[in-house]
Amino acid sequence: MTKALITGVGAVCPLGWGIDKCWDDTVAGRSGTARLEIVEVGADDCKVAGQVPARNGTGYESSPLRLLDFYRFAETEALAQAGLERESVVRNPRARAAVASHGFAWKIDEFTAACRGKTVNGIDLSEYVRRPQEGAHEGIGADFSERYSGITTACSAGGVAVLEAGEIVRSGLADIVITGGVDANINEVIVAIHSRMGVLTRHNSTPESASRPFDVTHAGFVIAEGAAVLVVESERSVEARGAQPIAELAGWGTAVSTAHLTAGSEGGEIQALAMQRALDSGGASVDDIDYINMHGTSTEDNDISESEGVRKVFGKTAPPVSSTKGVTGHLLGGAGALEAVFGVMAIHTSTLPPTANLNEVDPRCSLDDYIADGARHGPCRGMLTNSFGLAGSNASLLLRQP
Amino acid sequence: MRAIVSTSAKIGFGSPYELNHRELVPFRHDRRCVADFEVLTLACFKQLLGETEEISGRGCGLYFAGAKDTLQLDVDFSNELFDADDRVNALTTMAEGLNPLLPLNKLYNIGLYLAAKEGIECWRHCQYTNHKHADYSALAAAVRDVCSGTVEVGFAVFARASGGFELPQESIGAVGVRVVACNEAGDRTSDAVELSARPQPELLLELQRLHADGGGAELAVELPDGTC
């Protein structure tokens, strides 16, 4: 069975454009969350978001079509690192793409105006006003035709897309898979709905520190946007090209909870199952794991149940854990992919990023080592990254040194 | 190795409705038609589960393909296909206020719930929304995971409302497929269809035709390069 190797990564997130900027700020604990500016929301709705800064340095990206800009930038960066040209990948019948996204923002009038007259594969993009999710995937994956998979398992989608890439490579269906996640869903409807669900942060007065995973004051997540892309290749392809892998996508596990649509499973049992399956599928043991990038949304429910899940798998020997959502916020369908990219960087740079805004661990979060006071430096042989979503979808990825 | 896809499919089309851009603004959608769509999709999946023999070992994979263009407020779970527990789950879902946000996720979640109720554990799950090829993605994933031994049985459920681009705009429909592996000696039936490079929606329409011809037909699936 061939290995699935990662040869390139790229990212755009509220911290900025490009993996270097995103990673440096994450390691430094510099927050990318801020007061919500790109849309006007209701008086009772959350006023904090992780908005991607404009590339010209002024304000934020607010184009209704920015989702595709984010994705293309991250994809270009990842392919460049991998030493691949997009056109050659698209033409390669042994190449595929699997990307998570939940679609364009729904500022419908603006969106319609922006799309008018633009076509993809001969279809008027304004048609996508009716189907923003399909429109996003058409824009991302049209060049790959039936070799493209668009994945929509809510907040686990980014992780599920990456494991899909692993499945495709490991089963021999393709040699190269472009994978990742992208969302740009900060809009009045999404913010209103999530606010009314009670899952968004209530720390409106301190937007830069509003995402507080595992902290005793965690009070909901910060909705964010951006994209992350990874290039996953078979050993055969890597060897043939003389490429340099930066990490191995060594295993993955999924598990589903049917107990409740939004809540985590009782005691983190289902999350634990996903993590254990990831270890098993990579032939790894708990001793092989030096770090876990947690889903860590900054909601009480997730932070507590995920911690319990880790404890169920690792017992008292759980490795250091952190949530990078403290600085990025929650990229929804992009989150799992961004955190997989951060996992690759942790391995590649021997650096474990901290959890920003974690000053006092919630005593109900049951682990012993939440990285809080700055990044740690040292070898990271293997790590897990978790992505959990609404609708009971849980995914865990195992990454390790190539 | 080839996989045999048993078309234990339930197919239905109906409830034509007018659609325009404005109607897709949340809270304004046609309730009745989308409810039909949901009932149809879940009924399709229930039928597949009901015809499933005992699954041991690695359990099943559930692969949903559909679109999120079905925004709705209400689902009529008084349909006789659903028992009291189903309705409780559905109502719990609706109480979360999520219907306008994640209709496909809700369908998917209830699908998982129905599987769990049958004692079937899902080892793999995914939902695909990529315009023309979501059906292919779901079926290919089911075949891939069955053939690799990741799961014992794969369920691929394809759902369409508002027609997408490939079905008539006034149509809704759902098709479910159960995938089990066979060895190289498995014979094709006369209805065998090559899917290797086959774009969708021909798959969906082909399944519809086979089902209309008497059901129980089999499709021989060969993925590119013969790897499955």
Q: Pick the more confident residue, B106 or A402.
A: A402
**What is the least distance, in Å, from the CA of A149 to any CA of chain B?**
6
- Chain A contact present for B91, CB below 8 A: no
B31, pLDDT greater than 60 = no
Within 8 A of A167 by CB-CB distance, chain B residues are 141, 144-145, 148, 150
What is the model's pLDDT at position B88? 40
Nearest-Cα residue of chain B relative to residue A154? B105
Do the beta carbons of residue A39 and residue A186 sit within 8 Å? Answer: yes
Q: How many CB pairs under 8 A join A and B?
A: 159
pLDDT tens-digit readout, B121-150: 778 888 787 655 676 777 778 777 876 778
Q: Within A58-120, where are the H helices? A: 66-82, 86-91, 108-115
Place of tokens 């027609």: B163
What is the pTM assigned to this prediction?
0.83
For residues A204 and B40, what is the distance between their CA atoms, to the nearest angstrom?
43
Q: Quick one: pLDDT band at residue B93, thresholds 50, 70, 90?
A: very low
CB B41 within 8 Å of CB B107: yes
Chain A from 137 to 156: CB within 8 A of any B CB: 137-138, 141-142, 145-146, 148-154
pLDDT of residue A152: 83
| Measured distance CA(A334)–CA(A11) in Å, rounded | 10
Query: Which pLDDT band, with edges at 50, 70 and 90, does A266 fall under?
Result: confident
Alpha carbon separation from A317 to A201, A221, A310, A322, B161 (Å, rounded): 31, 28, 10, 15, 49
Nearest to B68 among A103, A160, A171 (CB): A103
For B213, other C-beta atoms within 10 Å of its C-beta total 10
Does position A202 have pLDDT exceeding 60, yes or no?
yes
**How far is it, in rounded angstroms, from Cα A354 to Cα A342?**
12
Lowest mean pLDDT among A90-104, A148-162, B158-172: B158-172
Amino acid residing at A199: V
Q: What is the DSSP string of B139-207?
A: HHHHHHHHHTTS-SEEEEEEEESTTTTTS-TT--EEEEEEEEE--TTPPPPTT----TT--TTHHHHHH
Predicted confidence (pLDDT) at residue B67 exceeds the cutoff of 70: no
Report how far residue A118's alpha carbon sits from residue A105's, in angstroms, rounded to the nearest whole number: 17
Residues of A whose CB is below 8 A from B92: 260-261
According to the per-residue pLDDT averaged within each range, which of A202-216, B23-37, B135-149 is highest?
A202-216
Mean pLDDT of the region A246-252: 98
pLDDT for residue A44: 83
If pLDDT is split at 50, 70 and 90, which confidence band does B90 have? very low
Distance from CA of B211 to the nearest CA of A (A): 24
Give the closest-approach CA distance of A173 to chain B in angstroms.
Answer: 6
pLDDT at B121: 73
Of A244-253, A294-303, A314-323, B13-22, least confident by mean pLDDT is: B13-22
Average pLDDT over chain A reads 90
Chain B CB contacts of A171 under 8 Å are: 144, 147-148, 227-228
Strands A4-13 and A16-17: antiparallel
Lowest mean pLDDT among A12-16, A242-246, A288-292, B121-125: B121-125
Least confident of A125-129, A149-153, A290-294: A125-129
- Which of B6, B35, B33, B17 has its CA nearest to residue B219? B6
Residue B164 has pLDDT above 70, yes or no: no
Tokens 């060594």: give the residue.
A250
B141 and A CB contact within 8 Å:
yes
Task: Give the HSE-up count for residue A2: Cα atoms under 13 Å, Cβ half-sphere.
Answer: 24
Nearest CB to B224: which of A123, A148, A173? A173
B148-B222-B196 Cα angle (round to 5): 125
**Mean pLDDT of the region A6-34:** 98
